[in-house]
Amino acid sequence: MPRRCCMPACRGNYTAQERVNRFHFPREEDARREWIRAVHVDNFTPSDHSVVCELHFHAHGIERTTSAYDAKTGRLITAPLDRPRLRKGAIPALLPGSPKYLSTPSVSREHPED
């Protein structure tokens, strides 16, 4: 049984839908907090098994190929990745099937004394 995406109303990886890649919550605290905020569920605490599917990331936030420079030939070699990976700083921002205002990045304000 594939893991289900923890985003509200997401149908990724259900039996009638096409299979999509899933990404675990980051271990780094600041990035983890941003992901939790992006889930839009009150008092959500991700477990070690919580995942977010690729439907919630912008295309530019997912790497599907890798490149390396070959010094002998002077060429750049590009190859597809077996499994896509997220670029550093990628945060789930899209909520397909939900109101559009939920898919925009949230703005946090600083405390007036800061």
| pLDDT digit string (tens) for the chain, length 114 residues | 457 788 877 776 666 667 788 888 888 989 888 888 888 788 888 888 888 888 888 888 888 998 899 888 889 989 998 889 888 888 888 876 665 555 555 445 565 665
Residue type at 101? Y
12 inside domain:
no
Q: Looking at the domain assignment, is residue 14 inside a domain? A: no
Q: Is 43 inside a domain boundary?
A: yes
Whole-model pTM: value is 0.69
The pLDDT value recorded for residue 1 is 44
Q: Residue 41 domain-assigned?
A: yes
- Domain that includes residue 83, residue range: 22-103
110 belongs to a structural domain: no
Does the residue 73 lie in any domain?
yes
Q: How many helices (H) and strands (E) would you count in the chain? A: 1, 4
Can you give the pLDDT at residue 102?
A: 57
Task: Evaluate whether residue 55 is within a structural domain.
Answer: yes
Q: How many domains does the chain have?
A: 1
C-alpha to C-alpha distance for 5 and 24, rounded to whole angstroms:
10
